Amino acid sequence: MIKVINLYKKIEKKIVLNGLNLHVQKGKITVITGLSGSGKSILLKTIVGLVKPDSGKVIVDGEDISTLRGAKLINFRKKIGFLFQGGALFDSLSVFDNVAFPLREHTKLSKKEIESKVMHELQEVGLADSVNKLPSELSGGMNKRAALARALILNPDCLLLDEPATGLDPVMAKIIYDMIDKISTKGITVLMISHNLQAVSRIADFIAMICRGQIIEYNIPDKFFTSENPIVQQFISGRAHGPIGLNMGD
């Protein structure tokens, strides 16, 4: 579904992506993990075309996204749902209007059709009672669920999620991961950033770890956890001593 080929990106003087390769399999849940500042968010933004790589390619459904223009680019954007780190709802719009926004931008649906789709999506994430609230009136978990509903509203083939449950309590995190698991069973390809490996291992098909701008481990969860790579081992166990130093992340 998504092929990331030899991606390079330098920001200020730092090489953030250093020849990164990753194949995201169709219909599966792939989790990307790694230290804070290791380039996970930049990778996701490069995949959707919000960040331009210095070199390398992103192929989605057989098409090089850097070559897309006009209607093809718009269609590509509609196929991918994106949840930004922190949720990033529009502060001045209600929950309803946030979720309706992509429909008003990209479709010619009637007011009634939009209302019915938005209400359906909000019901799916348990927010049917909060349609008129502003983002500032929502808890962290509600914010993330509203952002999830917005990412799903155009029925994307692929969902990119940047830390969809970070900062939430374990129960709300589990509820969100269960929702993502359910979404995946509908055949949607999910690429998700998460640090919470214990919680995501239940739903992940593959876990990839990014370090120094490259994917250093990519495997099914069981094999990821028993990786012999000392960097992966230190990351999983959260030990302060090992190959990971203060010079590697932020």
Ligand X SMILES: Nc1ncnc2c1ncn2[C@@H]1O[C@H](COP(=O)(O)OP(=O)(O)O)[C@@H](O)[C@H]1O
With beta carbons less than 8 A apart as the criterion, state whether 146 and 127 touch. Answer: yes
212 interacts with ligand X by CB under 6 A: no
Total site size for ligand X, rule CB under 6 A: 13
Of the pair 41, 184, the CB lying nearest Mg ion is at: 41
For the bound state, the minimum distance from the C-beta of residue 11 to Mg ion, rounded and expressed in Å, comes to 13
Closest CA to 193 of 40, 70, 60: 40
Output 85 or 214, the one with its CB closest to Mg ion: 85
Q: Shortest approach of ligand X to residue 12 CB, angstroms?
A: 5
Tokens for 178, please give them: 């269960």
Residue closer to ligand X (CB basis): 57 or 195? 195
Tell me which residue of 89, 194, 91, 105 sits closest to 150, measured CA to CA: 89
Q: Alpha helices of the chain — where are they, by DSSP H?
A: 40-47, 70-79, 95-106, 111-124, 140-152, 170-185, 197-201, 221-225, 230-237
Q: What is the dihedral of CA 44, 47, 51, 52, to 10 degrees?
A: 150
Q: Which lies closer to ligand X via its Cβ, residue 43 or residue 151? A: 43
| Local structure of residue 93 (DSSP, 8 states) | S
Per DSSP, the residues of 26-54 read TT-EEEEEE-TTSSHHHHHHHHTTSS--S
Task: Please report how close the Cβ of residue 39 comes to ligand X at its closest, in angstroms.
Answer: 4
By beta carbon distance, the residue nearest Mg ion is 41
DSSP conformational letter for 137: G
CB of 100 to ligand X, least distance (A): 29
In the chain, the N- to C-terminal Cα span, in Å, equals: 30
Does the footprint of ligand X cover residue 247 (CB under 6 A)? no
Q: Residue 54 Cβ, how far from Mg ion at the closest point, in Å?
A: 19
Does the footprint of ligand X cover residue 91 (CB under 6 A)? no
State the nearest-atom distance from the C-beta of 75 to ligand X, in Å.
27
Residue 135 interaction partner, one of ligand X, Mg ion, none, beta carbon < 5-8 Å per kind: none
Residue that has been written with the tokens 């698991």 in this structure: 181
CB nearer ligand X, residue 153 or residue 159: 159
DSSP codes joined into one string, 14-26: EEEEEEEEEEEPT
Considering the complex, state which of residue 39 and residue 102 has its C-beta at the smaller distance from ligand X: 39
Q: Would you state the structure tokens that stand for residue 16, as one six-digit string?
A: 């953030």
**Which residues in this chain contact Mg ion in the complex, by CB under 5 A?**
40-41, 85
For residue 166, the minimal CB distance to ligand X (Å) is 10
For residues 25 to 44, the per-residue mask of contacts with ligand X, x marking binding by CB under 6 A and - elsewhere, is: ---------x-xxxxxxx--
Residues in 9-28 at the binding interface with ligand X, rule: CB under 6 A: 11-12, 14, 16
**For ligand X, the closer CB: 122 or 193:** 193
Per CB under 6 A, residues contacting ligand X are 11-12, 14, 16, 34, 36-42, 250
